[in-house]
Amino acid sequence: MWETEFTKNNIASMGKTEDKYPYIHRDVSWLYFNHRVLQEAKDPSVPLLNRVQFLAIFSSNLDEFFKVRVGQMRNLIRVGKKTKRELGFDPKETLKQINATVNKYQEEFSRIFTDEIVPALRKEKIYILRRTDLNKDQLKFIENYFHSKLLPYIHPILLLKDKVRPFLNNASLYLAIMMKDKERPTGPNYYAIVNIPSAETPRFVVLPSRGKRKEIILLDDIVRQSVSWMFPGFDIIDSYSIKLTRDAELYIDDEFSGDLIQKIRESLAKRNVGPASRLVYDRSAPKQLLNFLMKILNLEKIDLLPEGRYHNNFDFFKFPDFGRDDLKYKPLPPLPYEPLENAPNIFDEIKAGDHLINLPYNSYESVIRLFEEAAKDPNVTHIKIIQYRTSKKSRIQQALMQAAKAGKQVTAFIEVKARFDEKNNLEWGEKLEKAGVQVLYSFPGVKVHSKVALFRRLEEDGPKLYAYFSTGNFHEKTAQIYSDFGLFTADERLTKEAAGVFYFLENVKSPPHKFKHLLVGQFNLRSGIEKLIQYEVQQAKQGKKAKITIKCNSLQDPEAIKLLYKASQAGVKVKMIIRGICCLVPGLPGISDNISGISIIDRFLEHSRVFRFHHGGDDLIYLSSADLMYRNLSARVETAFPIYDPELKKEIKDYLAIQWSDNIKARLLDDKDSSTYKKTDSDLPIRAQIETYYYYKRKNERIVKAGLAHRKKAKP
């Protein structure tokens, strides 16, 4: 019934021949997600400068995708050891589809930028000029700019097919130039490459302008204007932008022996010299030039990917805003979490009952205060934390070092295999070690992705444990833009098992007590989630109410998907709120009739993972660091933590209801990348992230009115 190739609706089969299920390849589904990001750049209701930012996000996402995922796909093709049957898909066919889909999206990107963004900027008197648009003063300005700012970084190379084969740096910008020898104008074409030093100088250069006009030129066009000066013996025919993306995967996840930290350091050094995964080129470039580049760079046709005139469009993150705050989202200042931020003693407040924050709607200050107060509190003896990603400037890290210097026992487990954060994590590890923190690093074969901190405090009735569990990293920057939950608790059921997580990380063996409340990767995470789904199936088969709500970044794990299909067929009502990859196809007759799904892309990145099970009316709710992906369920240390407090459970249920009611930014999930916006019967526009912000603002007002906020003590 279901196709084994991506020939109909991009659906592949999953499972044995007699037991097939529809399954969208994860990379294809990821491209659908990134297309939803591109939709935000197209949406005229999004403020103009934020639309420019979404162009940057789309491009940044795609660049990482090619560095990692397409690099892996090309290696599967090169090695040729894995057969189509063993993989469950044909790498060549999948890569062709990826390239075709990306090409389609890049053409849409160019249309959005050229036909919508640029004219909209002009209406606001912001102009992106090309060199042919410049007046005499501006031409003189860019000539001086080139010689004073760019020249030290420029490296022109005349290409000779059999003698000079240039090495292109990973993701760096270049101009490929076609030329004629001035003395032999009817002779053969000559070719050259010139780098565009965007890593050393700003990509967008503000030009001298008149009146209220703000005029910009891209660095690329300044270099184009100067090409003739670099090759005085040649007539320039034309120049075309190119960029080579190299495979950036470290290939260390499955190594089980040796010095892992040293291997990572060596791999980082090699990241920029990995094999090519694509050559991006200006789609107006002639075939003659492309054929020459393929030969000299040792590329194949499948490696080529056309784009517009400019590449590395993630540089739009640094697009000048000229102080035009009116062209950006209206600020939504993080709301203080009054009970903890202004409590006389944060530990006393946590001991009195669990507390839940929802970032970035709530401020991150309560988390920072927990660490800073623990560092100063003479009764705190131990602090333990798991670091997956962290900011380069971090008050939490400073508090850990301060605590260690004060004589407290501080342990930090640092996952150095966090992709593209390896260098930052290693640097922080060295700083923490110098301050006296006991630093534990990754162990081979498994990534540690839990987000947990544990505090031991001496109190009148003996030592007391406090814990902080989160769906997101201890990262003060992303806490301002990522939507994540954080739980502060002194509940012994949870703190004791949090200690068990650290026991495993420190001793690399099972803790003395089994996990009964937490679901922990490598122990009971997969089996626990499967049992909860199976319970709903049993309830449905008995004619009882059975419901599941899943909110996560990605749904890819084949076994979890198969189980959800079976749940749907048994009559379980399943709601999915999946931001990114979704390999499950909802709404298929006889297979997934009872499953519906949406994806929300908006100003904040939806990052929290929530699993809600009706469970015969008990309403079990887990918040998690883990997505429903094979790697999370089987190859990582993750932590899913239950919410026991009735008020906090209600808060999460309210939050999920708001998400599901979104009729502005929610898209329906399907297998066709229709990216259709969800419509409801309501005439009231509901935008989940804005509704959530005001939900917490009303909650704050109730807290203050009830006199629960301790406002006398100033913030630390």
In this structure, what are the phi and psi dihedrals at residue 218, rounded to the nearest 5 degrees? Answer: -80, 145
Coil, strand, or helix at residue 213?
Answer: coil
Query: Residue 186, Cα to own-chain centre: how many angstroms?
Result: 52
The conformational region for residue 587 under phi > 0 = left, psi -120 to 50 = alpha, else beta, is left
User: Considering only CA atoms, which of 157, 148, 138 is closest in space to residue 201?
Assistant: 148
Q: How far apart are CA 37 and CA 502, in angstroms?
A: 37
Q: Beta-carbon neighbour count of residue 506 at 10 Å?
A: 14
Element (H, E) at 377: none
Whole-Å CA distances, 632 to 50, 285, 557, 624, 625: 32, 43, 9, 11, 9
Among 35, 355, 449, 614, the active-site one is: 449
> 3-state SS of the chain: helix, strand, coil percent to 5?
40, 25, 35
DSSP 8-state assignment for residue 149: I
Q: How far apart are CA 490 and CA 350, in angstroms?
A: 6
Is residue 664 within 8 A of residue 592, CB to CB? The reply is no
Coil, strand, or helix at residue 68?
Answer: helix
In this structure, what are the phi and psi dihedrals at residue 483, rounded to the nearest 5 degrees? Answer: -85, 110
User: Considering only CA atoms, which of 438, 442, 446, 452 is closest in space to residue 502?
Assistant: 452
The sign of the dihedral angle between the CA atoms of 359, 360, 362, 367 is positive
Q: How far apart are CA 475 and CA 394, in angstroms?
A: 8
Residue 517 annotated in active site = no
- For the chain, the farthest-separated pair of C-alpha atoms sits apart, in whole angstroms, at 94
User: Considering only CA atoms, which of 557, 681, 588, 539 is closest in space to residue 548?
Assistant: 539
DSSP for 8-45, written as a single string: STTEEEES-GGG-EEEE-HHHHHHHHHHHHHHHHH-TT
Q: Do you know the residue count of the chain?
A: 716
Element (H, E) at 665: none
- The set of catalytic residues is 449
